[in-house]
Amino acid sequence: MLALADVSPRPLFGTNLEASVIEALAETGWAVAENALDPELVAALRHRAAALYMANAFDDGRVGRGEALTDGPRIRRAEIAWLNGGDAAETRLLAGAEALRLTLNRELFLGLFEFEAHFARYPAGGFYRRHLDAFAGGPRSRVVSFVTYLNDDWGANDGGELAIWNHADDEGAPALLIAPKPGTLVVMLSERIPHEVRPARRERLSLSGWFRVNPGVGGVLDLAA
Distances (CA, A) of 156 to 34, 77, 153, 211: 15, 21, 10, 31
Write down the pLDDT at residue 60.
85
Residues 6+ apart with CB under 8 A from 37: 12, 13, 148, 182, 183, 185
CA dihedral 141, 214, 92, 39 (to 10 degrees): 30
N residues, the chain: 225
Write down the pLDDT at residue 139.
64
Could you tell me the pLDDT band of residue 8, with boundaries at 50, 70 and 90?
Answer: confident
Domains recognised in the chain with CATH numbers: 4-212 (2.60.120.620)
pTM beyond 0.85: the answer is: yes
Percent of the chain with pLDDT over 70: 84
Segment among 49-63, 108-122, 125-139, 180-194 with least mean pLDDT: 125-139
Closest to 2 (Cα-Cα) out of 91, 67, 99, 120: 91
Q: Radius of gyration (Cα) for the chain, nearest Å? A: 16
